[in-house]
Chains A and B, each alone.
Chain A
Amino acid sequence: MNKLKRILGIVWLLLAVACAYFGIADFGWPKVAHAKGNDDLVFGIIILFVLMPIIVGGLLKFGWYALQGEYDE
């Protein structure tokens, strides 16, 4: 189980990178750059400056801890 926890750590690190790419390129930035109204603009800003840092930063840290064996039994 400990081995699986550590291997999955790499998956979480990769997932963080994927989230960063899609979150910024596909979600947040188009909403800010081509906002059709206030809702779009605020939504884009929240995605870029609230949701993305939490998901990406959190998953990177979590993945790194898992890889280091911090969650081993």
Chain B
Amino acid sequence: MATETKGLWKIIGASSVGTLIEWYDFYIFGSLATIISTKFFPAENPTAAFLATLATFAAGFVVRPFGALFFGRLGDLIGRKYTFMVTLLLMGGATFLIGCIPSYESIGFMAPVLVLLLRLLQGLALGGEYGGAATYVAEHAPAHRRGYWTSWIQTTATVGLFISLLVIMGTRLAISKEAFNAWGWRVPFWVSIIMVAVSYVIRKNMDESPLFAKVKAEGNISKNPLKESFGNKQNFKYVLLALFGATMGQGVVWYTGQFYAMSFIEKICLVDKMQSDKLMAIALLLGTPCFLVFGALSDKIGRKKIMLAGMLLAMFAYRPIYEKMYQTVSIKNKTEVVAKHTETLSLLLNAKSGLQDSVFTNSFYYTDKTIKTEIKTIQTIKQQGKLHVLKEETKTAITINTSDTWTLIWMVFLQVIFVTMVYGPIAAFLVEMFPTNIRYTSMSLPYHIGNGVFGGLLPAVATYLASKANDANVLAEKAGANMPFDNPYLEGLWYPIIVSGVCFVIGMVYINGKKKRDGASRASATVRDE
């Protein structure tokens, strides 16, 4: 059932470009979340702020699994090709429209409502896209090279993130800061429609998956994919195994390596945003080829060994890696050049509202060329001849030297390697776990629960654990007692460590790692099709 290699490149190209665009679309919203919230979700309006939180959380956690169910069912009933064309158009259309919505100032409450609705559509489309693309490629690929060919699809999530960072950085550099804040942030959303149009034309000319076409020709299409996938114990037990023995651990390793690392560098280490984006982009670029290496290796030594090794390495390496990142940037380990210290004050007066911003900028220079900048903004208003302080805000950003930048790049790169180990072979692993007639539905749900729910919640849970540890230390310090946590900033890592630990044990004991090609990962290794 294998297609010629030349034809396979065409299939891989068409599938991967579409999936990459979907990831790009999904990430630009997250990357531009701060500016989007100022345009559509003003903090002074509690309902709008609530919608902002829903838009951030709900699309990733709640809607993605629903998209997996809805489009998975469709893909098993009418075919892979048409389904993932619908998801592509849905995602592209929603992304483009987010870039067109007038701000809250112009249309009021409709603005945040429309953004939330479009963001939900994005989540729904993403839930349907991945399973379709992975299944489509896997069903074209020869069984002995399935890991390699599907690993191209696996690169798309990381490359999508990389391209989203590049487009945003490029737009920021091309126009002034004021122009970017006024309208430039919409450009990355508009760019999407061109990419989607190109991808749509390419996908339109592709054939249906040969395995699905065969099942359809034989009249073996499932009448009710949802019932057969989750209502039938013989299949449902493998859905659970896929979730708890593979995708749950993969999801947390993926989110730690790519998102928590970024958030840790920016919010805990306080590295300058532009510098942190750049170093993340370099680490992602360096690590991406490893998806293909581990995908290909999984064809030779099996998927299970590589995925579980990735989880095990991540579990033991996370705390040393994050400690190294923290200490590399920490000002406590550096010596200040006191003579170079500068302090400036600028006043911004809004004649119309009477508001005055006093901006104090303090720059501290260190012997290793690190610069720490503290910007304190005090907003005041003059009423009845007296100045009243309305708001006080301090922002700190650290610009690190080249050597420290490379240390951080290598630390993130290591985490990306773990990501490629767990994520590279997983499409082939999931595809081989389920029979053709219910494959799209059965593999999409555990994938999106593992990634969307277990992985997607990681930043929030990890931040909660770290702040809880920090609060406990502050309380202990006030009480004059010993501080319970030596490194509170590392406490958030217990979530990915414990989840991948449990997943490692379940995967190790229950998944059959024997090198059979179809249905190979099932504990009982029953060959169900092909």
Q: Which residues of A contact B454 (CB under 8 A)?
A: 51
Question: Is A43's CB under 8 angstroms from B57's CB?
Answer: yes
Taken together as a complex, chains A and B put the C-alpha atoms of A59 and B453 apart, in Å, by 15
Tell me if A4 and B509 are in contact (CB < 8 A): yes
Chain A proximity mask over B36-80: 1 for CB below 8 Å, otherwise 0:
000000000010011011100100011000000000000000000
Number of interface residues of A (CB under 8 A): 29
Which residues of chain B have C-beta atoms less than 8 A from A50's C-beta? 61-62, 453
| Cα of A46 to Cα of B56 in the assembled complex, Å | 12
In this complex, what residue of A is CB-closest to B245? A62
Q: Chain B contacts of A27 at CB under 8 A?
A: 464
Decide yes or no whether B297 CB sits under 8 A from chain A.
Answer: no
Chain B nearest CB, measured from A64 CB (Å):
10
CA–CA, A12 and B240, complex, Å: 12
Contacts of B386 in A (CB 8 A): none
| Interface check B237, CB cutoff 8 A | yes
The A-contacting residues of B in range 493-529, CB under 8 angstroms, are 502, 505-506, 509-510, 512, 523-524
Does A21 make an interface contact (CB < 8 A)?
no
Interface string of A40-71 (1 = CB under 8 A from B): 01110011001100100011011001100011
Q: Report yes or no: B523 in contact with A39, Cβ–Cβ below 8 A.
A: no
Q: Does B395 interact with chain A (Cβ within 8 Å)?
A: no
Bound together, the chains give a CA A31 to CA B467 distance in angstroms of 13
Q: Which of A5, A38, A43 contacts B46 (CB 8 A)?
A: A38
Whether the pair A43, B460 counts as a contact (CB closer than 8 A) is yes
- Are B61 and A46 in contact, CB atoms less than 8 angstroms apart? yes
Measured CA separation A10–B334 after assembly (Å): 52
| B453 neighbours in A (Cβ, 8 Å) | 50-51, 54
With contacts A43-B460, A54-B453 known, is A65 near B57, CB below 8 A? no
B244/A58 in contact, CB under 8 A: yes
Q: Report if A15-B509 is in contact (Cβ < 8 Å); known contacts: A38-B50, A50-B61, A62-B241.
A: no
Taken together as a complex, chains A and B put the C-alpha atoms of A65 and B510 apart, in Å, by 11
Q: Which B residues from 229 to 255 make CB contacts under 8 A with A?
A: 233, 236-237, 240-241, 243-244
Query: Are B53 and A38 touching (Cβ within 8 A)?
Result: yes
Say whether B457 faces chain A, with CB atoms less than 8 Å apart: yes
Q: Are B523 and A46 in touch, CB under 8 angstroms? A: no
B481 to A: closest C-beta gap in Å: 22
Asked if A54 meets B237 with Cβ closer than 8 Å, knowing A4-B509, A46-B57, A73-B523, the reply is no
Nearest opposing residue in chain B for A45, CB measure: B57
Q: Which B residues lie within 8 Å of A66 (CB)?
A: 510
